[in-house]
Amino acid sequence: MKFFGKIIPVLFILGLALSCEEGLYTVFDNVVNDDPIDDNSLSNEISVTAMTEYGTDYYIATGKLRRRQISGGGWSSVSIGTSGFVNSVAANGSAVYASIVKNDGTGLLWNATSPPGSAVGTLPAGLKNVLKVKNIGGQILISIQMNDGSFTLYNVSTSSSIATGLTAPITDFTNGNHYVAGDSVYQNGSSITPDSVIYGTHMYLSIYYDSDNHRYYLGTTDGKVFQSDDDTPTTTEWKMTLATYRYYSNGRRTSVRFCSFENLDATTIAVGTQGYGFYTFDSSVPFDDVNNPDPLVHFPDSAKRELYEGAIPDIHVNGATVFFCTMNSGLWRNEWDGSGWGSTWTRE
């Protein structure tokens, strides 16, 4: 078990870059300074909370369900046969699914092999709202708020509940029936929460399984990322970073909130945050204060404010093309070549 810190003020990095002598390598040497291209298909102020692909189309949740062809073209609204707010979308080989809060405040899960589709009929009795839908290993899982105020994790593909009666919202879930709710981490109902005596107590926003390197990751509200030793973590088999902060010019600082993970390739993971852009790190190297002392690298181009300090609830990867879903700042994409970004950032 290793502990290490990443507490690097933004102004300090800027000062370091500005103080370097001409001709020396700086932290900004590999930053692409081209202005982003806007294709104006989507509003630049739109919030995109989730993204998936099904068949020949991409789908996004923006309050409405929208899609465009993977090969290109513009985005269009998808008719779903009901009025409401689309907050999440996912797909497997059988259908595309969207969670919807209807105008009367109740929720449903919609699916279709081709729109307009219909509501999924077999869901737990007493359902109030579907909070999130995800494809986990080809199966569709949803987190649910129940009428009695409790929370449930449900497998739509097998029509079976994974967890019921939780008192905190299930904010994320991943392979092997692993999920996070409040200050707890579970696997099939059993707690694998990092031992509070060793690691302290944290509120967990996200959980992710890296199948390439067989490790789980946790993102917290207080600026920490946890990494498991292997793919069967127990309460003591975690490593964690120390707190990562966002610093302000008035001296104030706030903890970075890590809310989404996605593999860019077999050795690189991107981590989205709630209000400080995204980070990347080398996922092939275990967290370690000697061999990997500072794993999280913040997106360095402050000129692209939406990616440098925006909220990024979801990241979607199709081959080398990477999409960043942002709150109030549109949908961004670029190409990842295994070591860096392409020359142009495009906002859809």
Please report where in the chains the tokens 């390197």 appear, as a residue.
213
pLDDT at residue 16 above 70? no
Percent of the chain residues topping a pLDDT of 70: 88
pLDDT at residue 22 above 50? no
Span 216-274, pLDDT tens digits: 999 999 999 999 999 999 999 999 998 899 999 999 999 999 999 999 999 999 999 99
Please report where in the chains the tokens 């879903």 appear, as a residue.
325
Confidence of residue 33 (pLDDT cuts 50, 70, 90): very low
Given a contact cutoff of 8 angstroms between Cβ atoms, the answer to whether 107 and 98 are in contact is no
Span 70-116, pLDDT tens digits: 999 999 999 998 889 999 999 999 999 999 999 888 899 999 998 88
Bigger pLDDT: 121 vs 318 = 318
Please report where in the chains the tokens 């369900």 appear, as a residue.
65
pTM here is 0.88
Amino acid letter, residue 306: E
Span 46-62, pLDDT tens digits: 999 999 999 999 999 99
Identify any residues that bridge with 166 across adjacent strands, giving them in sequence order.
151
CB atoms within 10 A of CB 265: 17
Sheet-wide strand order for 238-241: 3-4, 238-241, 225-228, 215-220, 204-210
The structural domains of the chain, with segments of one domain joined by +, span 3-21+46-347
CA–CA dist 174, 158 (Å, integer): 16
Instruction: Write the class of the CATH domain 3-21+46-347.
Output: mainly beta
Residues 6+ apart with CB under 8 A from 170: 131, 132, 143, 151, 152, 153, 163, 179, 180, 181
